[in-house]
Chain A
């Protein structure tokens, strides 16, 4: 599985020269959404699993 993902977007001037970073790679948006959803799911699971152990906290 190819996980070679660019972090940035690049462009080259029509007048030549080196490639220049022009911004973040928007394909990463899906990873940010997935990371949030993963956090949410893990938090729900941890709350259910560990609630009794921490229940005497307050």
Chain B
């Protein structure tokens, strides 16, 4: 407990001017995954919208890249990082109620600062994780229907009804992801969130931003040298 308090105090009082928010491995994962998602959405929807091209090979390879990225992220986040930073907790729910009450003009205590991620960010992560995992799961099944260097296609792996279900899950997952990506890009380009967007490129935020937006006792950011 005292080491946590000391680290919290060190991050708040260090003189380097910057604190680390995302390590290089996490930033690389994010941007490789972003490229994979853009490739997947492009190859998925342009042919549907009438722009025809040979899309299947690019699509399934991009899907494999996405699946590997997600596997890397899950192993790293669960094994090496603080997974509780992304779990919605009582304080997030309390903050949500306080913000809602204040928005409606009701008397309410001020919402407290979040840890590394606020409640809405955690909720977004939960949603996008659900859709991405549904897409990867259904996508892996659909790989059985194509020839690859590693296996020959077997379209009889499932019957017609089950394939229809798989394609339906994949299709709705894809359309939900279009919405999720649009919302994610919106928040990334909002001026009041630029410190977060910058941190996904540069890996750091200023100490002032850290102290202004985050509770140092809930997220002990280390000094960025």
Residues of A in contact with B (beta carbons under 8 Å apart): 8, 13, 20-24, 26, 28-29, 32-33, 35-37, 39-40, 43, 46, 50, 53-54, 56-58
Query: Is there an interface contact between B186 and A57, defined as CB atoms closer than 8 Å?
Result: no
Could you list 8 further interchain pairs (A-B, Cβ under 8 angstroms) beyond the known A24-B175, A36-B183, A43-B186?
A22-B167, A23-B171, A33-B182, A35-B179, A36-B179, A46-B103, A58-B110, A58-B113
Q: How far is the CB of B214 from chain A (nearest CB, A)?
A: 9
Q: List which B145-184 residues lie within 8 A (CB) of chain A.
A: 160-161, 163-165, 167-168, 170-172, 174-176, 178-179, 182-183
Q: Is B45 an interface residue (CB 8 A)?
A: yes
Residues of B contacting A: mostly: helix
Query: Is there an interface contact between A20 and B160, defined as CB atoms closer than 8 Å?
Result: yes
Closest B residue by C-beta to A52: B102
Query: Is there an interface contact between B164 and A53, defined as CB atoms closer than 8 Å?
Result: no
Query: Is there an interface contact between A29 and B167, defined as CB atoms closer than 8 Å?
Result: no
The size of the chain B interface, using a CB distance under 8 A, is 30
Query: Is there an interface contact between B171 and A24, defined as CB atoms closer than 8 Å?
Result: yes
Query: Is there an interface contact between B102 and A53, defined as CB atoms closer than 8 Å?
Result: yes
What are the 7 closest A-B residue pairs judged by CB atoms, nearest first?
A24-B171, A23-B167, A21-B164, A36-B182, A36-B179, A50-B103, A57-B111
Query: Is there an interface contact between B48 and A29, defined as CB atoms closer than 8 Å?
Result: yes
Q: How far is the CB of B185 from chain A (nearest CB, A)?
A: 9
Q: Is B105 an interface residue (CB 8 A)?
A: yes
Query: Is there an interface contact between A39 and B171, defined as CB atoms closer than 8 Å?
Result: no
A26 cross-chain contacts in B, Cβ below 8 A: 48, 171
Closest A residue by C-beta to B174: A24
Query: Is there an interface contact between B172 and A24, defined as CB atoms closer than 8 Å?
Result: yes
Residues of A contacting B: mostly: helix
Q: How far is the CA of A57 from the CA of B99 in the complex (A)?
A: 8
Query: Is there an interface contact between A58 and B212, defined as CB atoms closer than 8 Å?
Result: yes
Q: How far is the CA of A54 from the CA of B165 in the complex (A)?
A: 45
List 13 contacting pairs A-B, 8 Å CB cutoff, sorted by A.
A20-B164, A22-B164, A26-B171, A29-B48, A29-B175, A32-B176, A35-B179, A40-B182, A50-B102, A54-B99, A57-B99, A57-B102, A58-B212
Q: How far is the CA of A43 from the CA of B174 in the complex (A)?
A: 23
Query: Is there an interface contact between B213 and A58, defined as CB atoms closer than 8 Å?
Result: yes
Task: Tell which of A21, A36, A37, A50 touches B168, judged by Cβ atoms closer than 8 Å.
Answer: A21
Q: How far is the CB of A19 from chain B (nearest CB, A)?
A: 10
Q: How far is the CA of A50 from the CA of B104 in the complex (A)?
A: 8
**Quick one: which of A33, A36, A50 has the most chain B CB within 10 A?**
A36
Query: Is there an interface contact between B164 and A37, defined as CB atoms closer than 8 Å?
Result: no
Q: How far is the CB of B166 from chain A (nearest CB, A)?
A: 9
Closest B residue by C-beta to A53: B102
